[in-house]
C-alpha cells in the first residue's frame, strides 16, 4: 500500500506539469483557434534557460525560475508574432505547418547550441517530507505548489478579470468581440504569452526534478500534454488540470506495477478510447462560430 | 457631396463636418464602394447621418445594406471612398478602434456570447471603456476594483432599461428571441456609443414586440444617441425614421424624409416592379 501511495504522489507531481502545458495548449487553441505545435518547445526553452542561469550565474531558485519563465514568455511572444498572428483565420493546417516548422527550428537550434546529450541542471533543494512512509522531496513539493498556483491563477484570470472576459468573448466570436472594442492582437499576445510562460514554468520544474534538460524534451512531453487537452475537451480548465494529473498518476502506476516500458502507451491508449467514445472530450468542448 | 472630402475637419477634431445641408453630421460616407472580386456589392454611396436622429437604410435583399454596415464598422475594408466618423477619417481602421471612438452595432440575427451569462455579455462589452492592466485585474488592486464595480452597476442599469434584468443570471440561449435582441442592444450600449447601428432590429418580431423596440429606439435618440438602422418592416421605418436612404443593386437610388421617399418613382419601381 505504501508503494501504491508513493507512485500516486510521484504521478501527481509529474501530472501537474502535464496539466500546466496542456492548459496552455487548450487556452491558445480555444481562443485563437490555432494549434500551437511549438508550444511544448517553450517548456524546453524554460528548461535550458534554467540550465544557463544555474551554470553561469546563480542556483538561487528565486532568480532561476523567474528568468526561465521570462525566456519562455519571450519565445512565446516571438512564436505568436511569427506563426500565430499571420495564420489566424486561415485553414487550421496553415497554423500546423507554421508552428510545426518553428518547433523543428527550436528543437534543432537547441541541439546545435547545447548538443544532443542531456545537460545537467545543478540546482538542489535539500530535504524530504515523509508522511506515513510516503516520501515527497521538497523539490517535488515546490514544483507542485508552483503548478497549483498557476492553475488557480489561470482559472481566476479567465473567469474574473476583464482581460479574461474579453478572451472568452474572442474565443467564441472574435469579429463580434472586435466590433465591441476588443483588440484581437492584444488578446492573441496575452493568451499565447500566458500559455507559454506557464509552459516555461513546467519546463523548469521538469529540469529541476530530473536535474537535466534535453533539446527534444518538448516533443514527448508536449504530445502527452496535447493528449490531455484532447481527452478533457477545452470547455473546462478544471477538466484539463484533472486529466493532466490523472495521466501522471496512471503512468506512474503502470510504470510501477506493470512495466516502465509501457508507460508511454497510457496516454495514447486513453486518447483512442476517448476519441471513440466521447469525441468532444470528457468535459466537452466549446462550439465555435 | 464634394463637401465631405473638402470640408471634413482634421483628424482628432470632433467639430461638425459640413454636410450638403450645412448641418453637422456624425457619420459621413463619400464615394463608398466595395468589390468582392468581380462582384460590385456597393458603389459610390454617399450618406450624411445627422446627430440625434434615426436614419434608416432600406432596399431589396442583396442591395448591399449589411455590406455598408460592415464597411462603416470596420468589419470590412472599403475598396473605394471614405468613412468619416465624428469628423475623423476612419477609413480602413480596425473595428475595435472605431468602437473606441464611439460606434457600436447589433447584428441581423443576435450574435451573443453564448458561453457567457446575460450580465457577463454586457460587462464584456465594457472592455473598451476600462483601463486596468492585467496585473491590476489579476490582483484586484489599483483601478480594477472600482472599474469593475462601475461596469457591473452600468450593466445592471442597462439590463433594467431594456427590461431583461430578471434574466441577468441566465445563459443567452434561455432567452426568448425578442429578449436576445434586447440583450444585444444593452451590450452595444455598454460600449457608450454615440452612434449605434442596428441591422434589422425588428426582424422576426411580432407587432407588439416591434412596437416596444421602436419605443426603445426613440428613448435612445431622446437620450442623445444617433441611430442608423437597416429595416425591412416599412411600418417601423416610416414611423421611426427622420430620414431614409434607399439602396438597390449596391447603389443609392433615393434619400430624404419618409414622406418623400414613399412617393419616389424609383423606389416604387425597385420595390413593386416597373408598372409603378
Rounded distance, CA B255 to CA B58, Å? 10
Nearest CA in chain B to A286: B115
| Kind plus residue range of the DSSP H or E element containing B83 | strand B80-85
Residue B133: per-residue pLDDT: 85
Q: Could you say which architecture CATH assigns to the domain B45-272?
A: 3-Layer(aba) Sandwich (3.40)
Out of A163, A176, A179, whose CB is closest to B134? A163
Check if A173 contacts B (Cβ < 8 Å). yes
Contact A180 B132 (CB under 8 A): no
Is the minimum CB–CB distance between B36 and chain A shorter than 8 Å? no
**Minimal C-alpha gap between B97 and chain A (Å):** 7
Residuewise pLDDT in 10s, chain B (276 residues): 333 333 334 444 444 444 444 458 999 999 999 999 889 999 999 999 999 999 999 998 889 999 999 999 999 999 999 999 999 999 999 999 999 999 999 998 899 999 899 999 999 999 999 988 888 888 888 888 899 999 999 999 999 999 999 999 999 999 998 899 999 999 999 999 999 999 999 988 888 888 888 999 999 999 999 999 999 888 888 899 999 999 999 999 999 999 898 888 888 888 777 554
- Map out the domains of chain B as residue ranges: 45-272
Residue B216: CB atoms within 10 A of its CB come to 16
CA of B138 to nearest chain A CA: how many angstroms apart? Answer: 6
Question: Quick count: other Cβ atoms within 10 Å of Cβ B274?
Answer: 6
Inter-chain contacts counted by CB atoms under 8 A, chains A and B: 91
What lies within 8 Å, CB to CB, of A28 at 6+ separation is A34, A35, A36, A39, A84, A191, A192, A195
pLDDT tens profile A110-127: 999 999 999 998 888 888
Contact A180 B148 (CB under 8 A): no
Concatenate the DSSP letters of all residues of B148-179 into one string.
Answer: HHHHHHHHHHHHHHTT-GGGTTS-GGGS-HHH
Dump pLDDT digits (tens) for A23-34. 998 899 888 888
Q: What pTM value is reported for the model? A: 0.86
Full set of structural domains in chain A with CATH: 2-116+138-277 (1.10.3470)
Option in A161, A168, A175 nearest B116 (CB) = A168
Grid coordinates of B10: 482634421
Task: At A258, give phi and psi (nearest 5°).
Answer: -110, -80
B114 touching A, CB under 8 A? Answer: yes
User: Half-sphere exposure of residue B119, counting CA atoms within 13 Å on the CB side?
Assistant: 15
Instruction: Give how far B26 is from chain A: nearest CA, Å.
Output: 18
**CA separation (Å) from B171 to A101, A174, B11, B137?**
41, 19, 41, 24
Q: Do A156 and B126 touch (CB under 8 A)?
A: no
Question: What is the rounded CA–CA span in Å between residue A232 and residue A252?
Answer: 20
CA distance B100 to chain A (A): 6
Closest listed residue to residue A121, CA positions, set A175, A62, A55: A55
SS3 A89: coil
Q: How far is A184 from chain B (nearest CA, A)?
A: 8
Select the residue of A172, A177, A180 nearest B104 (Cβ to Cβ): A180
| Chain A residues touching residue B75 (CB < 8 angstroms) | 175, 178-179
- Contact predicate A191/A25, CB 8 Å: no
Say yes or no: ipTM exceeds 0.95: no
8 Å CB contact between A21 and A220: no
Q: Is residue A177 packed enough to be buried (19+ CB in 10 Å), middle (13-18) or exposed (0-12)?
A: buried
Nearest to A179 among B105, B126, B144 (CB): B105
Amino acid at each position: 500500500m505504501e508503494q501504491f501511495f508513493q507512485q500516486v504522489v510521484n504521478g501527481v507531481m509529474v501530472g501537474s506539469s502535464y496539466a500546466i502545458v496542456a492548459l496552455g495548449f487548450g487556452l491558445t487553441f480555444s481562443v485563437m483557434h490555432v494549434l500551437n505545435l511549438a508550444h511544448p518547445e517553450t517548456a524546453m526553452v524554460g528548461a535550458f534557460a534554467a540550465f544557463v542561469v544555474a551554470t553561469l550565474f546563480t542556483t538561487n531558485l528565486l532568480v532561476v525560475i523567474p528568468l526561465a519563465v521570462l525566456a519562455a514568455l519571450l519565445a512565446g511572444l516571438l512564436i505568436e508574432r511569427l506563426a500565430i498572428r499571420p495564420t489566424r483565420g486561415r485553414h487550421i493546417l496553415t497554423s500546423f505547418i507554421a508552428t510545426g516548422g518553428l518547433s523543428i527550428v527550436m528543437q534543432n537550434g537547441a541541439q546545435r547550441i547545447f548538443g544532443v546529450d542531456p545537460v545537467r541542471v545543478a540546482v538542489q533543494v535539500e530535504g524530504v517530507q515523509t508522511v506515513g512512509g510516503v516520501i515527497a522531496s521538497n523539490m517535488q513539493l515546490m514544483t507542485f505548489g508552483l503548478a497549483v498556483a498557476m492553475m488557480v491563477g489561470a482559472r481566476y484570470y479567465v473567469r474574473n478579470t476583464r482581460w479574461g472576459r474579453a478572451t472568452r468573448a474572442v474565443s467564441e466570436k472574435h469579429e463580434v468581440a472586435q466590433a465591441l472594442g476588443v483588440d484581437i492582437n492584444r488578446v492573441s499576445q496575452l493568451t499565447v504569452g500566458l500559455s507559454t510562460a506557464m509552459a516555461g514554468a513546467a519546463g523548469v520544474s521538469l529540469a529541476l526534478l530530473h536535474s537535466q534538460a534535453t533539446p527534444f524534451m518538448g516533443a514527448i512531453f508536449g504530445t502527452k500534454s496535447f493528449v490531455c487537452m484532447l481527452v478533457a475537451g477545452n470547455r473546462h480548465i478544471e477538466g484539463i488540470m484533472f486529466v493532466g494529473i490523472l495521466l501522471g498518476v496512471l503512468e506512474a502506476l503502470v510504470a510501477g506495477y506493470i512495466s516502465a516500458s509501457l508507460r508511454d502507451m497510457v496516454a495514447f491508449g486513453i486518447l483512442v478510447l476517448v476519441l471513440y467514445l466521447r469525441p468532444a472530450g470528457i468535459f466537452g468542448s466549446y462550439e465555435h462560430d | 457631396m464634394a463637401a465631405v472630402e473638402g470640408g471634413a475637419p482634421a483628424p482628432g477634431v470632433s467639430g461638425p463636418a459640413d454636410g450638403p445641408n450645412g448641418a453637422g453630421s456624425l457619420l459621413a460616407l463619400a464615394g463608398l464602394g466595395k468589390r468582392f472580386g468581380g462582384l460590385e456589392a456597393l458603389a459610390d454611396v454617399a450618406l450624411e447621418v445627422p446627430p440625434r436622429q434615426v436614419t434608416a437604410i432600406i432596399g431589396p435583399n442583396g442591395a448591399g445594406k449589411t455590406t455598408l454596415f460592415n464597411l462603416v464598422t470596420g468589419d470590412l475594408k472599403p475598396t473605394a471612398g471614405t468613412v468619416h466618423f465624428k469628423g475623423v477619417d476612419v477609413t480602413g481602421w480596425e473595428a475595435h478602434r472605431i468602437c473606441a471612438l464611439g460606434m457600436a452595432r447589433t447584428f441581423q440575427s443576435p450574435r451573443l456570447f453564448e458561453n457567457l451569462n446575460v450580465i457577463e455579455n454586457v460587462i464584456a462589452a465594457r472592455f473598451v471603456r476600462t483601463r486596468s492592466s492585467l496585473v491590476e485585474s489579476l490582483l484586484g488592486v489599483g483601478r480594477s476594483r472600482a472599474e469593475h464595480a462601475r461596469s457591473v452597476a452600468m450593466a445592471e442599469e442597462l439590463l433594467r432599461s431594456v427590461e431583461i434584468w430578471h434574466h441577468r443570471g441566465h445563459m443567452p440561449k434561455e432567452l426568448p428571441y425578442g429578449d436576445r435582441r434586447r440583450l444585444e442592444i444593452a451590450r452595444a450600449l455598454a460600449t457608450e456609443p454615440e452612434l449605434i447601428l442596428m441591422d434589422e432590429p425588428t426582424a422576426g418580431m411580432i407587432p407588439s414586440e416591434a412596437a416596444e423596440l421602436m419605443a426603445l429606439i426613440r428613448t435612445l435618440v431622446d437620450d442623445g444617441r444617433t441611430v442608423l438602422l437597416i429595416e425591412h418592416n416599412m411600418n417601423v421605418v416610416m414611423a421611426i425614421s427622420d430620414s431614409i436612404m434607399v439602396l438597390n443593386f449596391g447603389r443609392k437610388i433615393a434619400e430624404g424624409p419618409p414622406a418623400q421617399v414613399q412617393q419616389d418613382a424609383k423606389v416604387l419601381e425597385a420595390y413593386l416592379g416597373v408598372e409603378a
